[in-house]
């Protein structure tokens, strides 16, 4: 459906978009339809989506099989409450999640968004120590540059300056933060890289319920990549100091970093895992928190053993049907070759940008490509410029980054990397 000029004016005057100012609206484009890797804009332009609608649309838009899965489900039952009722789509999805994650992860909480799955993970960790009589373990330890969502618990473990929520710092519970990891690859690992984390956990473990972090790639809080050895050390220190490990794979899950889950690269298993974003192939909002039998048993063994969370739209059948189909599509495709192919091309086409003097850093991991500029980009100018270049890329701050749908072909990917290079050259 075309978006008229009148509608766009109403949008500017009345509707908040993510992280926007109604008094100073940034350019916002109407989308008429979407197909494969393309968004068809109301201004008649067709742009290649480099964002996968924020990590989620991994199979591309308007996918016939995903469309059909939802159509089939809507004719049977679009929603029922999950309190006291259950259904096959939720059971099938939970089975898949148990099978696909590490063997110890076997208990599933279906949440309606990534932020909610993080809230549930934090609650699980607090409830675990509460039942064990260690109520003092009520803080979290995390690394800077993290992003875990926009609700209050999640905000409190986001980067305190970078995490988009600095103004709420007085209201948020205070947790422990250490510097973001600095190690780029396992080959140049040095014990110094973990020193600050180690001393924080040694000093404060009696107050710490869990460590929470994004494994291998930190997303919206800085688009940083770090080595698997850091994660291995974190997992070891958590075990040694009686602290639970929560991994937030909402951005990295479902193949994005070159393994099905990023934690596989460190050969570890978290106590609690959050997944979301790509879980439904970008079709509907859904996320999950998955934990071990050990954690579930402790929580369940408490005087009031109920896990105290239960969203209205928990386990929505349409979202579960989309997730079941998306995971089937992923597993029946050669997703790993696709991600590796994208990674190779991103390395070839983005690394040369390091020579451009406006560029501070270039990072590639799996199907993720990042150019960090030396100066912040002006969204009012840069968003229309990128559209003019035929791409949908949404930079923030100094970061110009893409995580395209896995089905993107090499010509389409080149259009994205060329646009990034052009913007870097124009920022000189
Ligand atoms: C997007 C994201 C979240 C929040 O998910 P929502 O669905 O937006 O609430 C949490 N953690 C990470 C790592 C994310 O990328």
Tell me the CATH number at 189: 3.40.640.10
pLDDT at 345: 98
Which member of 112, 159, 248, 271 is catalytic? 248
Cα(115) to ligand 1 centroid in Å equals 6
What CA–CA distance (Å, rounded) separates 227 from 147? Answer: 18
Please list the ranges in the chain whose pLDDT falls under 70.
Answer: 163-164
Does residue 70 belong to any structural domain of this protein?
Answer: no
Q: Whose CA is nearest to atom 6 of ligand 1?
A: 114
Does residue 226 belong to any structural domain of this protein?
Answer: yes
Any idea what DSSP says for residue 144?
Answer: T
pLDDT at 170: 84
Does residue 328 belong to any structural domain of this protein?
Answer: yes
pLDDT at 248: 99
Number of domains composing the chain? 2
CB 21 within 8 A of CB 12: no
Q: Which residues, in sequence order, are bridge partners of residue 48?
A: 38, 391
Q: Are residues 393 and 403 in the same domain?
A: yes
Tell me the CATH number at 409: 3.90.1150.10
Identify which of 217, 58, 93 has the alpha carbon closest to the alpha carbon of residue 145. Answer: 217
Where does a domain end: 295, 314, 332?
A: 332
Cα(218) to ligand 1 centroid in Å equals 11
The predicted model scores a pTM of 0.98
Cα distances (angstroms) measured from residue 303 to each of 104, 130, 137:
25, 10, 18
Q: Are residues 93 and 226 in the same domain?
A: yes
Q: Are residues 261 and 342 in the same domain?
A: no
Where does a domain end: 332, 350, 369?
A: 332
Q: Are residues 141 and 196 in the same domain?
A: yes
Chain-centroid distance of CA 191 in Å reads: 28
Q: Are residues 197 and 248 in the same domain?
A: yes
Atom of ligand 1 at shortest range from CA of 154: 10
For residue 125, the tally of other CB atoms under 10 A from its CB is 27
What CA–CA distance (Å, rounded) separates 149 from 155? Answer: 6
Residue 419: both structure tokens together: 């646009």
Residue 159: both structure tokens together: 């980067």
Residue 386: both structure tokens together: 């990128």
Does residue 69 belong to any structural domain of this protein?
Answer: no
What CA–CA distance (Å, rounded) separates 108 from 127? Answer: 16
Q: Are residues 292 and 372 in the same domain?
A: no
CB 53 within 8 A of CB 62: no
Does 248 participate in catalysis according to the annotation? yes
Does residue 67 belong to any structural domain of this protein?
Answer: no
Does residue 68 belong to any structural domain of this protein?
Answer: no
pLDDT tens, 304-320? 899 999 999 999 999 99
Does residue 135 belong to any structural domain of this protein?
Answer: yes
What CA–CA distance (Å, rounded) separates 368 from 393? Answer: 12
For a ligand 1 pocket test, name from 57, 58, 115 the mutation site with the most ligand atoms within 8 angstroms of its C-beta.
Answer: 115
Q: Whose CA is nearest to atom 8 of ligand 1?
A: 114
Where does a domain end: 332, 359, 384?
A: 332
Helix (H) or strand (E) holding 141: strand 139-143
Q: Are residues 54 and 120 in the same domain?
A: no
Q: Are residues 127 and 182 in the same domain?
A: yes
Q: Are residues 196 and 289 in the same domain?
A: yes
Cα distances (angstroms) measured from residue 3 to each of 25, 92, 214, 380:
17, 38, 37, 20
Q: Are residues 310 and 172 in the same domain?
A: yes
Q: Which residues contact 31 (CB under 8 A, 6 or more apart)?
A: 3, 39, 40, 41, 42
pLDDT at 163: 63
Cα distances (angstroms) measured from residue 345 to each of 123, 185, 239, 352, 407:
41, 20, 39, 12, 14
- Residue 325 domain boundaries: 77-332
Q: Are residues 213 and 361 in the same domain?
A: no
Q: Are residues 248 and 379 in the same domain?
A: no
Q: What is the residue-wise DSSP string for 31-92?
A: EEEEEBTEEEETTS-EEEESSHHHHT-TT-BS-HHHHHHHHHHHHH-S---SSS---HHHHH
Cα(229) to ligand 1 centroid in Å equals 24
């Amino acid at each position: 459906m075309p978006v008229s000029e009148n509608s766009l004016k109403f949008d500017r005057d009345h509707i908040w978009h993510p992280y926007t100012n109604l008094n100073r609206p940034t350019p916002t484009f109407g989308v008429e339809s979407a197909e494969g890797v393309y968004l068809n804009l109301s201004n008649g332009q067709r742009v290649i989506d480099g964002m996968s609608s924020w990590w989620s649309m991994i199979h591309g838009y308007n996918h016939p099989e995903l469309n059909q899965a939802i159509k089939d489900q809507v004719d049977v039952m679009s929603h029922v409450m999950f309190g006291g009722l259950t259904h096959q789509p939720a059971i099938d999805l939970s089975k898949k999640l148990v099978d696909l994650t590490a063997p110890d992860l076997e208990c599933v909480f279906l949440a309606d968004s990534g932020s909610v799955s993080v809230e549930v993970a934090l609650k699980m960790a607090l409830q675990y120590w509460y039942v064990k009589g260690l109520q003092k373990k009520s803080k979290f330890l995390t690394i800077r540059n993290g992003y875990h969502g926009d609700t209050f618990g999640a905000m409190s473990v986001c980067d305190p300056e970078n995490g988009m929520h600095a103004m709420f710092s007085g209201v948020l519970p205070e947790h422990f933060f250490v510097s973001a990891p600095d190690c780029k690859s396992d080959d140049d690992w040095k014990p110094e890289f973990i020193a600050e984390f180690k001393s924080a956990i040694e000093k404060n473990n009696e107050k710490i319920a869990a460590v929470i972090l994004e494994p291998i790639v930190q997303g919206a809080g800085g688009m940083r990549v770090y080595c698997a050895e850091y994660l291995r050390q974190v997992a070891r220190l958590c075990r040694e100091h009686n602290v639970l490990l929560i991994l937030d794979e909402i951005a990295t899950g479902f193949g994005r970093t070159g393994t099905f889950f990023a934690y596989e690269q460190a050969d570890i298993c978290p106590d609690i895992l959050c997944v979301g974003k790509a879980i439904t192939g970008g079709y509907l909002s859904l996320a999950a928190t998955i934990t071990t039998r050990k954690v579930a048993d402790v929580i369940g063994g408490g005087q009031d053993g109920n896990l105290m969370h239960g969203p209205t739209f928990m386990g929505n059948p349409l979202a579960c049907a989309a997730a079941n189909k998306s995971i089937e599509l992923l597993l029946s495709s050669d997703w790993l070759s696709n991600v590796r192919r994208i990674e190779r091309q991103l390395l070839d086409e983005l690394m040369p940008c390091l020579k451009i003097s406006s560029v501070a850093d270039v990072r590639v991991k799996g199907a993720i490509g990042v150019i960090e500029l030396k100066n912040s980009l002006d969204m009012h100018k840069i968003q229309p410029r990128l559209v003019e270049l035929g791409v949908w890329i949404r930079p923030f701050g100094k970061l110009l980054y893409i995580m395209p749908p896995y089905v993107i072909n090499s010509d389409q990917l080149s259009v994205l990397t060329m646009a990034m290079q052009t913007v870097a050259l124009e920022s000189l």
